[in-house]
Amino acid sequence: MTGTELLPSLTQILVTSAGLALLALIPLVVISATCFTKFLMVLALLRNGLGLPQLPPTLVLTTLALILTAAVMHPVLGSVGTGLANIPIDPALWLAEPERTLDLFKVAMEPWRAFLQANSGDAELAWLAPGLDPATDRVPWTAALPAFMLTELGDALRIGVLILLPLLVVDLVVGTLLLSLGMHMLNPTSVSLPFKLLLFLGIGGWLTLSEGVMATYTIPVLP
């Protein structure tokens, strides 16, 4: 078999290997470059604050976090998909014109990069991209991605504090009442659980929580 005959086979092998590598990176991308981490952390903190370490199950929380993530990321991923559709599906052309293919890929991924920058904190961007003004300058991926993830982790903890403080007050009130009534044998956590559930449902429950977290995101409009 000649070298010319081997070229299509080698190209197909390279494309298949690259596709498998990209599939393996999907979980890492979802965790680091989407709002999945914040949603999951907030839901987990709420579950712990309610005193229900096993309910809802972790699988349910993960699924809900993925669904809410898809709702937030849908406009961004739609723009990225439109840009990727402009890249010719021709491995031979990719190898022949790698620079042009890379430029098309960068243009297609620009909405995602802009989303990361728009939803990163000023302090994180100032640390990772010194000398750049996030309001006017383009922050590169190498700074936008870690800044976004650090911001997500911090925001999740701040939201968690807002969730846990009212629940802690309920625990303290119930515990104080039980002590004052001399009911030392009752478990304060078990007694406060229905009151915490009533408080959570009274403010709108899952809907209010989901809307509140989703409202923290900005979808940038690119020119």
Q: Give Cα separations from 141 to 96, 104, 156, 162 (angstroms).
A: 26, 16, 22, 31
Residue 108 located in a structural domain: yes
Residue 104 half-sphere exposure toward CB, CA atoms < 13 A: 16
d(CA 151, CA 134): 14
Residue 176 located in a structural domain: yes
Q: What is the pLDDT of residue 103?
A: 67
Residues 139/132, Cβ–Cβ less than 8 Å: yes
Residues 47/160, Cβ–Cβ less than 8 Å: no
Q: What is the pLDDT of residue 1?
A: 47
d(CA 73, CA 77): 6
Residue 18 located in a structural domain: no
Residue 163 located in a structural domain: yes
Residues 48/128, Cβ–Cβ less than 8 Å: no
Total domains present in the chain: 1
Q: What is the pLDDT of residue 39?
A: 93
Query: Exposed/middle/buried for 44, CB within 10 Å: 0-12, 13-18, 19+?
Result: middle
Q: What is the pLDDT of residue 23?
A: 75
Quickly count: other Cβ atoms within 10 Å of residue 5's Cβ. 8
Q: Mean pLDDT, 10 residues at a time, over the chain (223 residues)? A: 51 64 79 90 89 84 92 87 70 62 73 88 86 79 89 92 88 79 72 83 86 87 62
Residue 15 located in a structural domain: no
Residue 205 located in a structural domain: yes
Residue 3 located in a structural domain: no
Q: What is the pLDDT of residue 91?
A: 60
Residue 220 located in a structural domain: no
DSSP 8-state symbol, 185: T
**Full residue range of the structural domain in which residue 62 is found:** 27-214
d(CA 105, CA 84): 7
Q: What is the pLDDT of residue 206?
A: 85
Q: What is the pLDDT of residue 150?
A: 93
> If you write DSSP's letter for every residue of 135-146 in order, what string do you get?
TTSPPPHHHHHH
Q: What is the pLDDT of residue 3?
A: 44
d(CA 137, CA 142): 14
